[in-house]
């Protein structure tokens, strides 16, 4: 499978590739049931925490089975890797894409490690995503308003320097996006996104992190301005928890997980379908 080609086609057609994170079998089944309706390549994401819970080799085996079952490309990405060592292990285990998140580091340090990841990955045909700017928040529900400072956002000229020095295939910029769902969501700075896109060039794919909770019109606007990959985690986690609680409450005597799971799977399937429908037909 040529993953780069999948990204290039997605960019040319303004049809984004979705990344859905999982760490649990009900989540995975919900993702599969939703995504299989569209028959379009998608990404299974695991953060460091999610990948440690699943086990890297186990995650790779799962992805292979999912792909076999669906009959179209499914890409496995290590999301928000915080160290070279973990990403190296993921690449060695068979991940096809890795994201190094050095956004909390000074830019020089971020460039240094991202470059090291990129050079290790490229020799093995693995795609690398870098991150620049300070992406706030965590993948959960927040009671407060989202606060994003202008100084957290990615500077277009720094983005240009970053991609040139590191050789990444993809970049996650900060332009008003945030992890998690907030009482009031910020608006995306699409002008900044356009500027970043023109600086990084045609062949660096831009990634929208924090895809949960952003209004559809803004997601569509971001794709028009150059976003090629959209990450979704919070909305999947939220559906999992909410419906699992209900399922447990509705069936107080039930102890078989597979009998409690169908409602959860259905709810996650709905989340996936709703997002993919913004761009794809069933």
Residues that bind Zn ion (CB under 5 A): 209
Please, how many CA atoms are within 13 Å of residue 244, restricted to the half-sphere of its CB?
A: 18
Does 250 participate in catalysis according to the annotation?
Answer: no
State in angstroms the smallest separation of the CB of 180 from Zn ion. Answer: 10
Give residues with Cβ within 8 angstroms of 159, minimum separation 6: 132, 171, 173, 196, 199, 200
Measured at CB, which residue is nearest to Zn ion?
209
CB of 93 to Zn ion, least distance (A): 21
Residue 29 or residue 209: which is nearer to Zn ion going by CB?
A: 209
Between 28 and 207, whose beta carbon lies closer to Zn ion?
A: 207
Shortest spacing between CB 230 and Zn ion, in angstroms: 11
Place of tokens 């078989």: 256
DSSP per position, 95-149: -SEEEE--TTS-HHHHHHHHHHHHHHHHTTT-EEEEEES---EEEEE-SS-----
Phi, psi values for residue 179, rounded to 5°: -75, 135
Q: How far is the CB of 99 from Zn ion (least distance, A)?
A: 8
Nearer to Zn ion, 209 or 237 (CB): 209
Minimum distance from residue 255 beta carbon to Zn ion (Å): 35
CB of 196 to Zn ion, least distance (A): 17
175 neighbors 186 (Cβ within 8 angstroms): no
Q: Which is nearer to Zn ion, 176 or 247 (CB)?
A: 176
Q: Which is nearer to Zn ion, 136 or 225 (CB)?
A: 136
**75 and 129 Cβ atoms separated by less than 8 Å:** no
Rounded Cα–Cα distance for residues 90 and 106 (Å): 24
Could you tell me which residues come within 8 angstroms of residue 168 by beta carbon, excluding any fewer than 6 positions away? 114, 118, 128, 129, 130, 162, 204
The one catalytic residue among 24, 79, 169, 189: 79
Here the tokens at position 163 are 């991609």
Q: What are phi and psi of 43, to 5 degrees?
A: -115, 135
Distances (CA, A) of 5 to 8, 73, 136, 204: 5, 12, 31, 12
**What's the CA gap between 2 and 94, in Å, rounded?**
15
Q: Which is nearer to Zn ion, 50 or 189 (CB)?
A: 50
Catalytic residues: 79
């Amino acid at each position: 499978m040529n993953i780069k080609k999948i990204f290039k086609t997605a960019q040319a057609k303004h049809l984004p590739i979705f990344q859905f994170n999982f760490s649990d079998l009900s989540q995975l089944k919900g993702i599969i049931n939703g995504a299989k309706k569209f028959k379009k390549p998608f990404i299974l994401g695991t953060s460091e925490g999610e990948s440690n819970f699943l086990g890297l080799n186990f995650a790779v085996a799962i992805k292979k089975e999912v792909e076999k079952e669906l009959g179209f490309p499914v890409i496995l990405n290590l999301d928000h890797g915080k160290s070279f060592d973990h990403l190296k292990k993921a690449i060695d285990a068979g991940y096809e894409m890795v994201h190094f998140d050095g956004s909390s580091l000074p830019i020089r340090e971020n460039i240094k490690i991202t470059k090291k990841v990129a050079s290790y990955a490229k020799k093995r045909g693995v795609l690398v995503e870098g991150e620049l700017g300070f992406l706030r928040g965590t993948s959960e529900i927040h009671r407060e308003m989202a606060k994003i400072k202008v100084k957290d956002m990615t500077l277009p000229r720094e983005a240009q320097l970053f991609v040139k020095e590191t050789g990444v295939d993809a970049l996650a910029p900060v332009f008003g996006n945030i992890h998690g769902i907030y009482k009031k969501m910020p608006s995306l700075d699409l002008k900044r996104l356009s500027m970043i896109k023109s600086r990084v060039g045609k062949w660096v794919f831009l990634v929208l992190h924090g895809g949960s909770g952003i209004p559809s019109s803004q997601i569509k606007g971001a794709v028009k301005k150059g976003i090629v990959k959209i990450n979704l985690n919070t909305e999947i986690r939220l559906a999992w928890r909410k419906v699992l609680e209900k399922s447990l409450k509705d069936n107080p005597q039930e102890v078989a997980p597979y009998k409690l799971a169908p409602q959860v799977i259905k709810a996650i399937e709905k989340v996936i379908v709703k997002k993919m429908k913004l761009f794809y037909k069933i």
